[in-house]
Structure 1
Amino acid sequence: MNTATKLGSYVLGLAVVFGGALGVGKVVGPVGAPAAEDHAAMTPMATPTATAGHGEHTAEQAKSDTPGGLQVSENGYTFNPLTTIKAGEPTDFRFTVTGPDGKPVTGYQVEHDKKLHLIVVSRDLGSFQHLHPEMAPDGIWSVKLTLEAPGAYRAFADFAPTGGSGLTLGTDLLVDGDYAPRALPEVSRTAEVDGYTLTLDGELTPGQSSRLTLKVSKDGKPVTDLQPYLGAYGHLVALRARDLAYLHVHPDGEPGDGTTTAGPEIVFYAQVPSVGDYRLFLDFQHDGKVRTADFTLGAGERPAIPAPTPTPTPTSSGHGDDGHSH
């Protein structure tokens, strides 16, 4: 074996060892390490259909085949966490968004009542937080953040720089400690939170705008006096299982437009990029408090799982039925 061949085999061996080490066990590493992007083989994000009252990021998404949140940098903007987080400890989480000039961005457009939305989820999609940090004059953002358990988390910064289009950047947050990833919650169309019952009607169709209707009730009675939250009666985030592609949608219509009612139904138009399972997180406000309901929903038909290949039965000659033995 020549020197080049030996070196190639050695590098390949290292890739296998380090790749396997990330699967289970103990999380140890710096906060903000970029995720290993495994989305190259996934179906690209289809161009959303613009609809009144939602899809404000349509123009930006149309420019890229990469779904939101899978990249730490895009169009010269980079999401930079500055804080180490320990499990169960409230932390003043600090970060910047640097621009094409390498300096922290200080000019942002207000979208949905805020200059920047920070979403933090566990990578198994069992936990979800929607936060609104405050920015200092030097461009450093900060917000109180508690990550209860060790493991891998994904943070999304959703914003639009002044004079620019909307972006969603994502980065991993690694919390040291022993952990075991949980299975994705089963497909569900009903959620219970703080005495409220939420039901979801509609289907996700890959590549098409899909109508989703969420109905809110409490103690068996329809809720008809939802309160505006971030300029709407509901706020929905959808994340694709496995790679956590991010889809940020808002309901059809808005408070005060003369046609949109304050419940019990909230209608969304969502467009997902591919077949698969998605986690949906709905924020809604009632009686002065914001609550979050979560659902698991599948999109499209799953590929059929092939039947296992029968094991050849050994014969008296010591060969399998296929006539070969190795």
Structure 2
Amino acid sequence: MSRAAALRLGAFAGALALAFGAAFAIGTAVDPIAAADTTSAPVHEEEMGGMEQSAGHGSGHSESGGQLPGLAVSEAGYTLTPATTFYRSGTKTELRFTIQGPDGKPVTEYTETHEKDLHLIVVRRDLSGFHHVHPTRDASGTWSIPFTFTAGGTWRLYADFQPAGLDRTLTLGTDVNVSGLYIPVPLSEPASSYSLDGYDVTLAGTPVAGKESELTFTVNRGGKPVTDLQPYLGAFGHLVSLRSGDLAYLHNHPAEHAEPGRKGGPGITFGTTFPTAGTYSLFLDFQHAGAVRTAEFTVTVGTDGKTAIVPPKELPATQAPVTPGHEETPHGH
């Protein structure tokens, strides 16, 4: 090969490498998992009216321009800092992170909320594989918990906590990358019933954007109402709602406080304010017979009050929404 030919070949290879590099940069800047959601417009202060979270949670928006919880990795001087952002799917690992305080040091003192110093939510960006777990903290301020990511993709971590000395809770969020097979899981269609482990949970209500909406979950087992739900985190149910598209985080509890030894059910009612119209995934944790289970719903929220959830109806077990890998990872509640 002549020198001129070699130079031409080298220039072509260099241009090709630059093209691949640019394509990679664009690909990493655009989330390949989160679907575009035109309803996820920036939230303005007037849209946040009535956004209240019961049982001790904050107002539902941050101090930074009315932004919803879970969209920022840092707020009020506190930052969620994972030990690593790279994991392998199907392998048990130690999920470790710290909450860096305004002084740049890991926070070691917290105000307990809902019977825990910190709540960790882990979910893939297509809203599959939801887990609500409670890690432990060592003397240095490092939180850790054994965890298995069940599939490849981009996963979202949410830390929900209240630092000692701060008068409100914070919810910080960050993404981690998990290698392995990635098969997107589409959202289930909106439905008023979800079945798991012999339990049927129905949902009724009329969610309206920007206004407090009452949602009632009813738990049945074997066709009979469950009237002996056990307290879990100080309540008979625990609800997390995530907005499709940007995964904004709404964290609510029922107004009724559950004292130890009391029994609840079959209904669990929440007062929830959805900040904008759009599609939301709802995850209800409830405890019965010593085990915590999670019912999952997709809800479409409108602005006119005409999006009432379909009245509860019985669905065949084969129609119950299934989240691949959800039960493979221990909840760690």
Q: Same fold (TM over 0.5)?
A: yes
8 Å Cα contact 2:231/2:259 also seen in 1: no
Counterparts of 1:1-326 in structure 2, within 5 Å, are: 18-20=25-27, 41-44=41-44, 46-50=48-52, 53-54=54-55, 56-58=57-59, 61=62, 64-83=65-84, 84-164=86-166, 165-256=168-259, 262-300=264-302
- In structure 2, how many angstroms separate the alpha carbons of the residues matched to 1:50 and 1:124? 26
Instruction: Please provide the CA RMSD for this pair.
Output: 2.8
Q: CA deviation at 1:23?
A: 5.7
- More displaced stretch, 248-257 vs 139-148: 248-257
Matched residue, 1:321: none
Does the C-alpha gap of structure 1 residues 158 and 103 become closer, same or farther in structure 2, counting only changes over 3 Å?
Answer: same
Q: Which residue type is aligned with residue 19 of structure 1? A: I
8 Å Cα contact 1:156/1:171 also seen in 2: yes
Structure with greater Cα Rg: 1
SS of residue in 1 equivalent to 2:25: helix
Q: Which residue type is aligned with residue 115 of structure 2? A: D
- In structure 2, how many angstroms separate the alpha carbons of the residues matched to 1:105 and 1:62? 20
SS of residue in 2 equivalent to 1:18: helix
- In structure 2, how many angstroms separate the alpha carbons of the residues matched to 1:266 and 1:90? 34
- In structure 2, how many angstroms separate the alpha carbons of the residues matched to 1:79 and 1:42? 22
Q: CA deviation at 1:85?
A: 1.9
Q: TM-score, normalised by structure 2?
A: 0.76
8 Å Cα contact 2:118/2:134 also seen in 1: yes
8 Å Cα contact 1:46/1:65 also seen in 2: yes
Flag structure 1 segments of 5+ consecutive residues without an equivalent. 1-12, 28-37, 303-326
- In structure 2, how many angstroms separate the alpha carbons of the residues matched to 1:288 and 1:40? 38
8 Å Cα contact 1:116/1:158 also seen in 2: yes
- In structure 1, how many angstroms separate the alpha carbons of the residues matched to 2:131 and 2:259? 28
Deviations 1:8-59 (A, max 9, x none): xxxxx9877633456688x9xxxxxxxxxx99843346144547x5362128
Deviations 1:79-134 (A, max 9, x none): 01104421011111110000111100001000000000000001000210000000
8 Å Cα contact 1:234/1:250 also seen in 2: yes
- In structure 2, how many angstroms separate the alpha carbons of the residues matched to 1:60 and 1:161? 17
- In structure 2, how many angstroms separate the alpha carbons of the residues matched to 1:62 and 1:18? 32
Q: How many residues align?
A: 277
Q: Which residue type is aligned with residue 278 of structure 2? A: G
Q: CA deviation at 1:72?
A: 0.4
SS of residue in 2 equivalent to 1:206: coil
SS of residue in 2 equivalent to 1:58: coil
- In structure 1, how many angstroms separate the alpha carbons of the residues matched to 2:107 and 2:258? 31
Q: Percent identity?
A: 46
Deviations 1:55-90 (A, max 9, x none): 621286477510000000111100011044210111
- In structure 2, how many angstroms separate the alpha carbons of the residues matched to 1:141 and 1:200? 35
SS of residue in 2 equivalent to 1:138: coil
Does the C-alpha gap of structure 1 residues 107 and 42 become closer, same or farther in structure 2, counting only changes over 3 Å?
Answer: same
Q: Which residue type is aligned with residue 288 of structure 2? A: H
8 Å Cα contact 1:68/1:246 also seen in 2: yes
8 Å Cα contact 2:125/2:154 also seen in 1: yes
- In structure 1, how many angstroms separate the alpha carbons of the residues matched to 2:237 and 2:52? 18
Does the C-alpha gap of structure 1 residues 274 and 227 become closer, same or farther in structure 2, counting only changes over 3 Å?
Answer: same
8 Å Cα contact 2:61/2:67 also seen in 1: no
- More displaced stretch, 94-103 vs 178-187: 178-187
SS of residue in 1 equivalent to 2:88: coil
Q: Which residue type is aligned with residue 141 of structure 1? A: W
8 Å Cα contact 1:39/1:243 also seen in 2: no
8 Å Cα contact 1:200/1:214 also seen in 2: yes
8 Å Cα contact 2:43/2:66 also seen in 1: no
SS of residue in 2 equivalent to 1:179: coil
8 Å Cα contact 1:154/1:172 also seen in 2: yes
